[in-house]
Amino acid sequence: MSDLNPTVAELVERSNRLGADPKNTNYAGGNTSAKGTETDPVTGEDVELVWVKGSGGDLGTLAPAGLAVLRLDRMRALVDVYPGIEREDEMVAAFDYCLHGKGGAAPSIDTAMHGLVDAKHVDHLHPDSGIAIATAADGEELTATIFGDQVVWVPWRRPGFQLGLDIAEIKEKNPQARGCVLGGHGITAWGDTSAEAEANSLWIIETAASYIEEHSKAEPFGPALEGYAPLPEAERRAKAAALAPTVRGIASADRPMVGHFTDTEEVLDFLAHAEHPRLGALGTSCPDHFLRTKVKPLVLDLPSDASVEDSIARLQELAVSYREDYQAYYDRNATPDSPAIRGKDPLIVLVPGVGMFSFGKDKQTARVAGEFYVNAINVMRGAEGLSSYAPIDEAEKFRIEYWALEEAKLQRMPKPKPLATRVALVTGAASGIGLATARKLAAEGAAVVIADLSLEKAQAAAAEIGSTDVAVGVQVDVSDAAAVQAAVDATVLAFGGVDLVVNNAGLSLSRSLLETTEKDWDLQHDVMAKGSFLVAQAAARAMIAQGMGGDIVYISSKNSIFAGPNNVAYGAAKADQAHQVRLLAAELGEHGIKVNGVNPDGVVQGSGIFASGWGANRAAVYGVEEQDLGKFYAQRTILKREVLPDNIANAVYVLCSAELSHTTGLHIPVDAGVAAAFLR
């Protein structure tokens, strides 16, 4: 950062340090600022500026481009035209007229706090320890007890221009103060230097945490509830996998969601104690928390050892109640100009003994929602340990959740990709057609599970596609029913469920009838015919439980139709797969599950099958060099084009896209035109 303004460099470095530690603030939560000078390119004179983290950014990964840059004189001049708290939202648009230069991030609602406070460096953070004090019933008294006159209590006020004025006044009237606790919300600290602001922030966070640790009651969440202790890990995760599709269906009644599962100690301990139903019903408090988690979670009110069947039945009952309660919450608080209701489904579902399911528009959003609820649990533990947890009231939560500014932010979000919210499981996906298909589905917005016989190769392929929020690798032998179920379980635990399955795993041995052994026959049928059946069966169970429809695509072959020499076992197995498409399309249609197939031919490039000896054998059969096999196949086609893995991937995508929403039982040839394999 040597070319940067030193003030900006210090601010970014401080922000990254603070944001890297979850005890300081949650993901994308809080904001930091610094005031300094730069040369105005118009006048050539120094101009005072304030750099502040822009709307939607994350402190841990903040870069200079993520800062909003404002003229300090113009920003502070807004005080003279401030129309009052009833119209304070108008001030956010006014910030645009204070910007310096071009580029940079959009100013956030907290910009006023940073610009109006008379300190060169300001940090506003959401630490669990600080919010615990902020949400305690006697938070004001605790603030005085814990910090003396070094930290000042600020009663709850919705973020905005007035809150900035309030904190500026507090700073002016309390020159000895290092910062303040914002009731129901978080903390703000300041300093004359970047190092001083950071030190003051950390001092408030650590002082609060130490006080909670030293003075908290032994059981903040009440006594242990009999029968609600965590299940052993293997049993816990098996039950979670069995419940996940139903839970995802509940969370996706209004719009499809991607899920995340968490069984951390914090979650399991919370659910194992007597006060969790009361505290869960109180909901979260910090605006960053409940905007991600909704005002409260859905909590299963059954003990840890409740059967999967009983748990599912009760969850479905509770889902109806949750939707009714949320509608009533909206109706109680909505005004004629409130945005329309955004959906009545829970974003957090808690299952005693098992853990937490969290949901969002993609995996990252779902994972972060879960992280925020863990933050909320930590906050409740701290507040209950010292006092009692008293979050901001329902009306204030509604004002935040259905804030016109929040609605505007949502409307600015980019249009989702075509396969957004869809979870895909692709077998044989570490190379060739499978890998190309996984890449294509991920590029179109799907979360992808790469399943392959080699765990190492599956994980490497997934890492190549993206982070674990986008793709994960799992090991599977598709001929083993238990291994297939384990792969489907891993899929639903990774992303909440499964919507799109590609049966691609395959192998081939090119041998004549007389040379084909029983072992050859069994191996190819076990992997392709039996394997496809097992994968489709396990995935269909999950899809039916979700109630969200789905797609199953078989990568069959030209050889499922065309009779060629020296591939009796392979061709018969592919014909089996091709008829499975028709059979399952007829059976699963009532559940909204489409089943289609793709018939490739001559896909040499990147193919594991061709590399494992099939290519050499095919080349020998046709009397060509192995390296020329792709060109040979191309020349025998109508279009004279070589078929590549990407061509197959594109066909899979089209079959699963909205454009073919009414198509099932279809086989698409992707062979550049082989007349003998035309479907009749």
Question: Which tens digit of pLDDT belongs to each residue from 463-510?
Answer: 999 999 999 999 999 999 999 999 999 999 999 999 999 999 998 888
Instruction: Look at residues 98, 433, 419 and name the one whose alpha carbon lies nearest to residue 258.
Output: 419
Task: Please tell me the pTM assigned to this model.
Answer: 0.94
Q: Are strands 471-475 and 447-452 parallel, antiparallel or unpaired?
A: parallel
Instruction: Look at residues 129, 680, 675, 658 and name the one whose alpha carbon lies nearest to residue 667.
Output: 680
Domain 423-611+642-677 CATH (choose: 3.40.50.720, 3.30.230.10, 3.40.50.1860, 1.10.10.10): 3.40.50.720
SS3 497: coil
Give residue 609's pLDDT: 65
Q: How confident is the model at residue 587 (pLDDT cuts 50, 70, 90)?
A: very high
The segment(s) of the chain belonging to CATH 3.40.225.10 are: 6-215, 233-412
Give residue 449's pLDDT: 98
pLDDT digits (tens, 9 = 90+) for 279-318: 999 999 888 878 889 999 999 999 999 999 999 999 999 9
The segment(s) of the chain belonging to CATH 3.40.50.720 are: 423-611+642-677
Backbone angles phi, psi at 31, to 5 degrees: -155, 160
Q: How confident is the model at residue 2 (pLDDT cuts 50, 70, 90)?
A: very low
Q: How confident is the model at residue 604 (pLDDT cuts 50, 70, 90)?
A: confident
Q: How confident is the model at residue 610 (pLDDT cuts 50, 70, 90)?
A: low
Give residue 290's pLDDT: 80
Return the CATH fold of 6-215.
L-fuculose-1-phosphate Aldolase (3.40.225)
Instruction: Look at residues 211, 470, 232, 215 and name the one whose alpha carbon lies nearest to residue 362.
Output: 470
Q: Does the pLDDT value for residue 567 go beyond 80?
A: yes
Average pLDDT taken over every residue of the chain: 94
Match 């533990």 to its residue by tokens: 381
Distance separating alpha carbons of residues 420 and 5, to the nearest angstrom: 40
Give residue 1's pLDDT: 39
Q: Exposed, middle or buried: residue 303 (CB in 10 Å: 0-12, 13-18, 19+)?
A: middle
Q: Where are the alpha helices (DSSP H) in 62-193?
A: 72-77, 90-95, 111-116, 128-134, 139-147, 161-173
pLDDT digits (tens, 9 = 90+) for 333-349: 999 989 999 999 999 99
Distance separating alpha carbons of residues 193 and 405, to the nearest angstrom: 32
CATH homologous superfamily, domain 233-412: Class II aldolase/adducin N-terminal domain (3.40.225.10)
- Residues belonging to the active site: 570
